[in-house]
Chains A and B, each alone.
Chain A
Amino acid sequence: MKTSERIIEILLFLSAATAVMVVALIIIFLLKEGIPVLAKVGVANFCLGMNWNPIAIAGEPSYGIFPMIVASFYVAIGSLIIAVPLGITCAVFLAEIAPSWARSILKHAIELLVGIPSVILGFIGLVLLVPFIRDHFGGWGFSILTGSIILAIMALPRIISISDDAIRSVPREYKEASLALGATHWHTIRKVILPSARSGIVAAVILAMATSIGETMAVVMVTGSPSILPDPIYDILDPVRPMTSNIVLEMSYATGDHASALFATGIVLFVVVAVLNIISHKALKSKMGTRR
């Protein structure tokens, strides 16, 4: 009995350890592959360099990914600008207004949306959205705007479901207190329910941003690929190359320092996403703290 318990405990520990080990190994591998080029050109030059020219025909190759970092943030923030207002209003509707039958239909629809593989969204974006934007707004069609729209579609279900949870976990007593004072339902939502759910909603938004920055397939298919800043910088109809695209587009033929530079791009991506995830966790934690 005692030994069998012991064995089970050890097995459980080993399975838990495996998950941690895998993460650790991935990080170690990423660092090992990426660090040589970072050491060679310098972290600052790599992150802030404007020029990405890994296979120089004449002269030295250069590895600057600043335009790609900007591109990643551009499409991610663009997606939030579209998805956050839509997502939060949808969550308010779901949590506060929808009758239960409408709620269950919407919930299922949103789950379906999560299940759509990103390559399909990318494909739809490529076939429908790119020509639409080209014809109606101008430019190539491959653009920050197109990427933002596709990413917004992907971010919506996540923002909706986490915000919905946050709104529904606001104590019912707050709502009753507000209504009993003669406030309308809308006033109660704006002044009591949303502020009480704020930290959960903020966490949802940051998490959505982290996933948007890390999203690859759909983005590659609709944003184009030039590794330069948009010109002028605010032109959202210009094509760009986010960090994820950089890796996907060049990994099949990169060797030596070039391959290392792609891994280094991965390191930067990993750090950005990790920081956003930590902030999102912190936001959720702070909610727990203030709740009685």
Chain B
Amino acid sequence: MSEIEIESRNLDLWYGSAQALKKISMAMPEKKVTAIIGPSGCGKSTFIRCINRMNDLVKGCRITGELLFEGADIYGNDMDAVELRKKIGMVFQKPNPFPMSIYDNIAYGPRVHGLRNKEELDRIVEESLKASALWDEVGDLLDQSAVDLSGGQQQRLCIARTLAVKPKVILFDEPCSALDPISTAKIEDLINMLKHDYTIVIVTHNMQQAARVSDHTAFFLLGELVEFGKTKQIFELPDKKSTEDYITGRFG
């Protein structure tokens, strides 16, 4: 059994007076893929955005309970959100490359963190593109604008950009919802490769995707964690009736 990388204990979250997450307790193990599934509005994206403190940007967002990364409280007073986000990268729902060249997109993170050495940057760009299976397609086009790539390529570029910062955890927030099936398959292959080196948390509304890529699955409903366990067990022998109903497509 691997170590626990991220653990949430009784996490509550409010947007103003509306409670979006209720007493979420779950532990995400190191170098495994944890999938979070559930119908729209169940709080799964909200939860994943707590882990790298993206919810800090939302006005009126209030959090209680504990969320631990490597044993340290993510919302503790001595936690620096900027430092935290170096270690916990994120890939968003809509591919969001910067309107810059492919090279500059990937070099953005390392440059942010003070790397200026050209050779070192070149090496990181190449490594990251290879790791995200994009090098063969764009290796010769590094000066081209990233915005001209196809949607699937843009998303893999965003993954490469995240890898370039050398995080420990990568959060995927519905990374394939804007992509076609072939691009989706490529991203899933990539996740299966990346999980050897990274802890991955993926939010998805696609149950087949959760079943294909994840080791553990959490089912969220109306802001509550209904069930959390090994993916195989959740999909084959769920404990709770609502989990079974959702997985078999009776609602959602």
Measured CB to CB, the residues of A under 8 A from B are 100, 171, 173-184, 187, 191-192, 195-196, 290, 292
Contacts and interface: CB of A to CB of B under 8 A. Distances in A.
B22 interface: no
Nearest to B89: A180
A180 B54 contact: yes
Given A191-B108, A192-B98, A292-B147, A182 B83 contact: yes
Contacts of A171: 96
Interface of B: 52, 54, 57, 59, 82-83, 85-86, 89-90, 92, 94, 96-99, 108-109, 112-113, 147, 158, 161-162, 165
A100 B59 CA distance: 10
Contacts of A173: 92, 94, 96
Given A176-B54, A292-B147, A181 B108 contact: yes
B121 to A, nearest CB: 14
Contact of B98 (A174, A182, A292): A174
B203 to A, nearest CB: 14
Nearest to B94: A173
17 contacts: A100-B59, A173-B94, A174-B98, A176-B96, A177-B158, A179-B57, A180-B54, A180-B90, A180-B92, A181-B85, A181-B86, A181-B162, A182-B82, A182-B109, A182-B112, A191-B108, A292-B147
Contacts of A178: 98, 108, 112
A184 B82 contact: yes
A190 to B, nearest CB: 11
The 7 nearest A-B residue pairs measured at CB: A182-B86, A173-B96, A180-B90, A181-B109, A182-B85, A183-B112, A177-B96
Contacts of A180: 52, 54, 85, 89-90, 92, 162
A96 to B, nearest CB: 11
A192 B146 CA distance: 14
Contacts of A290: 99, 147
Given A173-B92, A180-B52, A191-B112, 16 more contacts: A100-B59, A174-B98, A176-B57, A177-B96, A177-B158, A178-B98, A178-B112, A179-B57, A180-B54, A181-B85, A181-B86, A181-B108, A182-B85, A182-B109, A196-B99, A290-B99
Contact of A181 (B57, B94, B99, B165): B165
Q: For A179, A180, A192, which residue has the most chain B Cβ atoms within 10 angstroms? A: A180
Contacts of A181: 85-86, 89, 108-109, 112, 161-162, 165
Contacts of B57: 175-176, 179
Nearest to B84: A182
A183 to B, nearest CB: 4
Contacts of B96: 171, 173-174, 176-177
Nearest to B164: A181
A176 B45 CA distance: 14
Nearest to A185: B82
Contacts of A195: 99
